[in-house]
Amino acid sequence: MKEAPNVSGFDFSVIGKGLPRKDAWEKATGAAQYTDDLKLPRMLVGKIKRSPHAHARILSIDTKKAKALPGVKAVLVGSEAPNLYGIMPQTPTESALSIDKVRFVGEGVAAVAAVDEDTASEALELINVEYEPLPAYLTPEEALEDGAVPIHEDKKGNNIIYEGKQSFGDVDQALSRSAYVLEKNFYTQCVNHAFMEPHSALARFDEGERLTLWSSSQIPHYLHRTLSLVLGIPMQRIRVILPTIGGGFGGKGEVASNELCAAFLARRTGRPVKITFEREEVFFTNKGRHPMRMHIKVGVDENGILQAIDFDTLMDGGAYLGWGVVVMFYCAAMLHLPYKVPNVRFHGMRVYTNKPTCGAMRGLGGVQPRFALETMLDEIALKLDMSPYELKRKNAVESGHTTALNNYVRHSEYKKCLDNVVKRSGYLEKRGKLPFGKGIGLAGAHYSSGTSYTLYLAYKPHSSALIRVDTESGVSVYCGAADIGQGSDMVMGMIAAETLGVPYSDVQVYSGDTGITPFDLGTFSSRVTVACGHAVEEAALEINKKLFGVAAVSLGVQGEQLTSQNGKILSQFEQKKSMDFWEAVGKYISASGPLTATGHYTPPRRSASGKVQGGNIGHAPTYGFTAQVAEVEVDIETGEVRVMKVTESGDCGQAINPISVEGQVEGSIVMGMGQALFEEMVAEGDRVINPNLHEYRIPTIADMPEIDTEIVESYDPESPYGAKECGEGPIQPVIPAILNAIYDAIGVRFNELPVTPEKVLAALHERPAS
Amino acid sequence: MGLPAFEYYCPDTSAELERLLSECGGQAKILAGGTDLLVQIKGGFQSPAVLIDIGNLESLQGISHKEGKGTEILAGTKIAAIEESPLIREKVLALYQAVRLLGSPQVRAMATLGGNICNASPSAETLPALIALGSELTVAGNGSERNLPVESFFLDYRKVDLGPGEYLKSVFVPEQSNVSGSAYLCRMLRGAMEIDIVNVGVWFLMDTEGRCQKARIALGSVAPKPFRAYEAEAVLTGKPLSEDNFQQAGKVASSESSPIDDIRGSAEYRRDIVRVMVARALSMASKSLQNS
């Protein structure tokens, strides 16, 4: 069990202690209740009929036979649910079911509710849809060709969803004056989150048109809004509840069609309706990482100091908007860190194609450019006869840095991460000195710890919390944060326990229920620990204040001299002057009624100075940092790359629960390794041919490298208990660390993912004999 | 469940199994572990009218060994039971090397050896090992039994030599002598739960001069059915058991394979890998011989 180094000067009793996850036992034994485990009386099963065409006009949908099938209670088609929605509310493009046109193979065209799954499946077969096929565009290049049919007819006659430009400084001049400029092309493939629990939603309408929706979602609030919009009922009559959730990684960060269809079918039938996706439906609806073509120039001076980055990308967006524009500008913002770059130019185009929509996925916007840039810096350093470590360290940002985009880095221990990982892994001793076929590679990264803006204009706090303390039920923390498996419930409980000076076991956290928990934007952008943590800490401090008032009178000391520790409220100066925490709670309630308090958090609003496209996107209250060293062995006869070991050093501020941090880091490393070596959604013609976890290869336990993680000494004084993110930063360096190690092993730079054995072998065959 | 309707029987005796099979003619499919069959039915690739579940037939389960003769594995024996059997590890190491890479622990707990053979996937893990070890199958039904070498059981892509009323009863692996070496190797795109790029079983008998007296090289995943690379075997026969000759056998085996392009790899890559894996398997078998 690891304890986080404590540099805050505080002697914490709960924070920084590695506590086993409260939900681990339930999940491991199968006791945890996921949405699909829920059953309600008279519940119906819903299913969605999907398009076999990538691009076609819907001429007619005949549902008569399906409706006549015994056991079928309702059939829904797109025109009956016409309100468009999208995670970016200003530009809605999606509907519960396609209305007059399908835009990818697997798009929903009709939904049924029936007494059981077999009947529902049979009913789907009886629905007859007449299509008029249109030309399908499967790559951004095809979709951009002259005369291509617009996939969305409301567009200005082409398939460009958005073209983004940002320019800071004088990139052309900086490049022309650079001592060395490296220019390269990169490509990243289409990958899916492969969360273990497929989407599932259960809808129930009560008397008076009140909807309750249980769903596997990261974003109860945006789901709440969207249900109101699409169903046309006020938000006040809707309650969204998150049961146990089996992962999201961004893929459940948008409203999914099963949630809307279940609600429509429940309303129509007056019975609860559940729709759970098959694994192939998860792949069809995707919202995974954008495939990106990147053309990049990086210039450095003779000492390896970064002068400019010129970045151009073509993003394959798939059929709908989703998080697309946010992903694009996140990508733009990612160029400015974790190194000091005075001149930066970004040009990006996100293009519609007739494929499943791409969206948010762990580390969004960062993974693709980080892969490219960290391998380029490796190459540049070696060209300059410099250690990649030295080059990265020279350019690394420190606390108080402001980027050209105006991101403010209030706290960074990135240099410490680099130093620590290089030392622990023996990088300097090994790089360039291992036998042919073995290699070691270094990469570093940052990620935003939250986001400065909501997706729609709103001024209310991004996170809020309510704490209720009473002698009967203990400490109850209510917060809207969505625990999707990352462990935020435990983090919030530990923050409350630390602040109130009670053991963690005295605290119960209630989260992710719009009916009982106060407002929170949801789980994305690695925002929860900092944002919701602030709110919980503030609420707990307010509880203390109320209790200190009671204790001050009892103990005869001034309230501001009191502190809460080990279940006691005591004087900071005279430990003898103390009273039991619960005694104080009892006295407070007897005298003043229920003991409750609220807290809330709004991040500092920052944007790019001046008028810059997408200039609000990518600003965060604080940033996490990480550095990794990968060691690989390449089988030079088969091309197999085996990652033997990954050493990681992370700056996540003060770790609230080091065991959870370790889990996030290890999960990130395995996920990144999957994209580096194994994973790809493969299309043959217009359909995905591996929409299953057999042929879509995520790493198995047999592929796990040895992983050695360490949390560096760090404390962000403006964060709750000094904490920062650790859920998305650690995926950023994985791919380039592995690819830099492959270069060290066999002298080949790969610029396209995934690096399959076949590509490795081909490259080895082409390699000039040395 | 999403399964089409079928009749279901679960006989308690072999006699009842034989009666059901002969009554159903070609309409029935035997349900063993179900790890292939149920997936295929659910996916709509098969829709048998009758399923005969052999899960209750203790007479079809078990591993036994006769000293000097060999090891008999009854067809309904679970893959996990083979994997965990000390007898298999001691007497039929190459089969152990194969079954431990079959599917996942969950799949191995359900799947049976007979099922893996009768499903006749070109990439089935157990087949190259069994073929290389010179195993025989016993097919029963219609009141009689017949024996045949494993490799001749496979007629074509996923077609096996089972007539109406017949079923696979057992697998017999002859005793390995202390001058024979064998090994199973495969190449996968990840460390587990894979359909292999290629799987290889090798076996050879060493003469008193340290030369290869006889060899069997069996390949899976690189042709419509598992097969013996006879020309590669010939290359080895009569020659010293040296790395050079293993490489040479690998090259010839590669030219005997007829892989296709698919999502897991191109035909060209597979041929290349056949060469490497055959040589490695022979080398591994040779080392096992030196160590014994």
Which chain A residues are closer than 8 Å to B263 by Cβ?
Answer: 682, 689-690, 695
Which of B36, B104, B195, B269 to mutate to probe the A interface, most A CBs <10 Å? B269
Hey, are the CB atoms on B192 and A678 less than 8 Å from each other? Answer: no
| Minimum Cα–Cα distance from A682: chain B residue | B263
Q: How many CB pairs under 8 A join A and B?
A: 47
In chain B, how many domains are there?
3
Q: Average pLDDT in the A754-767 region?
A: 94
pLDDT interval class at A507 (50, 70, 90): very high
Which of B102, B193, B198 to mutate to probe the A interface, most A CBs <10 Å? B193
Residue A257 pLDDT exceeds 60: yes
The rounded percent of chain B whose pLDDT value lies above 90 is 89
The Cβ of residue A607 has, within 10 Å, a number of other Cβ atoms equal to 17
Which chain A residues are closer than 8 Å to B191 by Cβ?
Answer: 699-703
Residue A2 pLDDT exceeds 90: no
Q: Establish if B1 belongs to a structural domain.
A: no
A625 bridge partner residues: A446, A651
Pairing of strands A507-511, A474-479: parallel
Residue A313 in contact with residue A75, Cβ under 8 Å?
no
Q: Which amino acid belongs to residue B112?
A: T
Q: What is the pLDDT of residue A768?
A: 66
Do both B118 and B217 map to the same domain? Answer: no
Q: What is the DSSP letter of B26?
A: G
Which of A673, A682, A700 to mutate to probe the B interface, most B CBs <10 Å? A700
Hey, are the CB atoms on A697 and B190 less than 8 Å from each other? Answer: yes
Hey, are the CB atoms on A117 and B191 less than 8 Å from each other? Answer: no
Hey, are the CB atoms on B189 and A697 less than 8 Å from each other? Answer: yes
Residue B162 pLDDT exceeds 80: yes
The rounded mean pLDDT for chain A is: 96
**In terms of residue numbers, what domain contains B69?**
58-174
Burial of B157 from C-beta contacts in 10 A (0-12 / 13-18 / 19+):
exposed
Taking the C-alpha atoms of residue A144 and residue A543, their distance in angstroms, rounded to an integer, is: 59
**Which range, of A227-236, A456-465, A511-520, A536-545, averages the lowest pLDDT?**
A456-465
On the question of a cis peptide bond just before residue A272, with omega within 30 degrees of 0, the verdict is: no
pLDDT in tens, A556-578: 999 999 999 999 999 999 989 99
Q: What is the pLDDT of residue A18?
A: 92
Hey, are the CB atoms on A638 and B276 less than 8 Å from each other? Answer: yes
CA neighbor of A299 nearest in space, from A169, A398, A409: A169
Q: Establish if B2 belongs to a structural domain.
A: no
| Closest Cβ opposite residue A121 in set B2, B263, B273 | B2
The string of DSSP codes covering A102-155 is E-STT-EEEEEEESSHHHHHHHHHH-EEEEEE-----SHHHHHSTTPPPSSTTS
The rounded percent of chain A whose pLDDT value lies above 70 is 98
Q: What is the pLDDT of residue A453?
A: 84
CATH number of the domain where residue B154 is located: 3.30.465.10
Q: Average pLDDT in the A450-467 region?
A: 89
Nearest Cα of chain B lies from the Cα of A764 at a distance, in angstroms, of 13
Nearest Cα of chain A lies from the Cα of B273 at a distance, in angstroms, of 6
Q: What is the pLDDT of residue B43?
A: 87
Which chain B residues are closer than 8 Å to A700 by Cβ?
Answer: 190-193
Task: Indicate the residue among B157, B174, B191 that finishes a domain.
Answer: B174
pLDDT in tens, A306-362: 999 999 999 999 999 999 999 999 999 999 999 999 999 999 999 999 999 999 999
Q: Which residues neighbour A455 within 8 Å (Cβ) at sequence distance 6 or greater?
A: A87, A88, A89, A222, A326
Which of B263, B270, B271, B278 to mutate to probe the A interface, most A CBs <10 Å? B263
Which chain A residues are closer than 8 Å to B2 by Cβ?
Answer: 117-118, 121
Between A763 and A7, name the one with better pLDDT: A763
Taking the C-alpha atoms of residue B123 and residue B119, their distance in angstroms, rounded to an integer, is: 10
| Minimum Cα–Cα distance from B273: chain A residue | A638
Per DSSP, chain A holds a count of helices (H) and strands (E) of 19, 30
Q: What is the pLDDT of residue A105?
A: 97
Hey, are the CB atoms on A700 and B191 less than 8 Å from each other? Answer: yes
Do both B154 and B191 map to the same domain? Answer: no
| Minimum Cα–Cα distance from A755: chain B residue | B189
| Minimum Cα–Cα distance from B280: chain A residue | A637
Q: What is the pLDDT of residue A262?
A: 98
Hey, are the CB atoms on A697 and B191 less than 8 Å from each other? Answer: no
Taking the C-alpha atoms of residue A121 and residue B146, their distance in angstroms, rounded to an integer, is: 44
Do both B187 and B100 map to the same domain? Answer: no
Taking the C-alpha atoms of residue B152 and residue A531, their distance in angstroms, rounded to an integer, is: 68
Interface of B with A (CB under 8 A): 1-2, 187, 189-195, 263-266, 269, 272-273, 276-277
SS (H, E, C) B83-152: HHCHHHHHHCHHHHHHHCCCCCHHHHHHCEHHHHHHHCCCCCCHHHHHHHCCCEEEEEECCEEEEEEHHH
Residue A309 in contact with residue A347, Cβ under 8 Å?
no
pLDDT in tens, A462-475: 999 999 999 999 99
| Minimum Cα–Cα distance from B104: chain A residue | A700
Taking the C-alpha atoms of residue B37 and residue A639, their distance in angstroms, rounded to an integer, is: 34
Residue B264 pLDDT exceeds 60: yes
Q: What is the pLDDT of residue A456?
A: 81
pLDDT in tens, A234-254: 999 999 999 999 999 999 999
Residue A263 in contact with residue A227, Cβ under 8 Å?
yes
| Closest Cβ opposite residue A118 in set B2, B191, B272 | B2
Q: Establish if B130 belongs to a structural domain.
A: yes
| Tokens describing residue A595 | 């003991």
| Tokens describing residue B192 | 């587990």
pLDDT interval class at B171 (50, 70, 90): very high
Which chain A residues are closer than 8 Å to B272 by Cβ?
Answer: 761
| Tokens describing residue A593 | 């009624």
Taking the C-alpha atoms of residue A692 and residue A675, their distance in angstroms, rounded to an integer, is: 16
Determine the distance from the C-alpha atom of residue A216 to the mean position of all C-alpha atoms in its chain, rounded to a whole number.
Answer: 15
Nearest Cα of chain A lies from the Cα of B209 at a distance, in angstroms, of 31
Q: What is the pLDDT of residue A3?
A: 46
Hey, are the CB atoms on A689 and B263 less than 8 Å from each other? Answer: yes
| Minimum Cα–Cα distance from A690: chain B residue | B263
Interface of A with B (CB under 8 A): 117-118, 121, 637-640, 678, 682, 689-690, 694-695, 697, 699-703, 756-758, 761
| Minimum Cα–Cα distance from A674: chain B residue | B190
| Closest Cβ opposite residue A117 in set B2, B187, B263 | B2
Which chain B residues are closer than 8 Å to A117 by Cβ?
Answer: 1-2
On the question of a common fold for A388-456+619-770 and A461-601, the answer reads yes
Which chain B residues are closer than 8 Å to A121 by Cβ?
Answer: 2
Domain locations in chain A as residue ranges:
388-456+619-770, 461-601
pLDDT interval class at A454 (50, 70, 90): confident
Q: What is the pLDDT of residue A4?
A: 47
Task: Indicate the residue among B114, B144, B174 that finishes a domain.
Answer: B174
Question: Mean pLDDT: which of A3-12, A275-284, B23-32 is highest?
Answer: A275-284
**ipTM for the complex?**
0.94
Do both B197 and B278 map to the same domain? Answer: yes
Which of B272, B280, B283, B284 to mutate to probe the A interface, most A CBs <10 Å? B272
Residue B284 pLDDT exceeds 90: yes
**Residue B68 Rama label (left phi>0; alpha psi -120 to 50; beta):** left
Task: Indicate the residue among B119, B151, B174 that finishes a domain.
Answer: B174
Question: Residue B213: helix, strand or coil by DSSP?
Answer: strand
The string of DSSP codes covering A279-341 is HHHHHHH--BBPPEEEEEEEEE-TT--EEEEEEEEEEEEESS-TTHHHHHHHHHHHTT-SB--
Q: What is the pLDDT of residue B195?
A: 87
Between B26 and B72, name the one with better pLDDT: B72
Hey, are the CB atoms on A758 and B1 less than 8 Å from each other? Answer: no
Do both B185 and B113 map to the same domain? Answer: no
Q: Does domain A461-601 have CATH number 3.30.365.10?
A: yes
Q: Average pLDDT in the B222-235 region?
A: 96
Taking the C-alpha atoms of residue B79 and residue B65, their distance in angstroms, rounded to an integer, is: 17
Do both B170 and B68 map to the same domain? Answer: yes
Q: Average pLDDT in the A715-731 region?
A: 97
Q: Does domain A388-456+619-770 have CATH number 3.30.365.10?
A: yes
Q: Average pLDDT in the A73-86 region?
A: 97
Residue A1 pLDDT exceeds 70: no
Residue B154 pLDDT exceeds 90: yes
Q: What is the pLDDT of residue A203?
A: 98
| Closest Cβ opposite residue B192 in set A695, A700, A761 | A700
CATH number of the domain where residue B273 is located: 3.30.390.50
Residue A122 in contact with residue A45, Cβ under 8 Å?
no
Q: What is the pLDDT of residue B2?
A: 75
Q: Average pLDDT in the A415-438 region?
A: 98
Q: Which residues neighbour A747 within 8 Å (Cβ) at sequence distance 6 or greater?
A: A767, A770
Hey, are the CB atoms on A758 and B263 less than 8 Å from each other? Answer: no
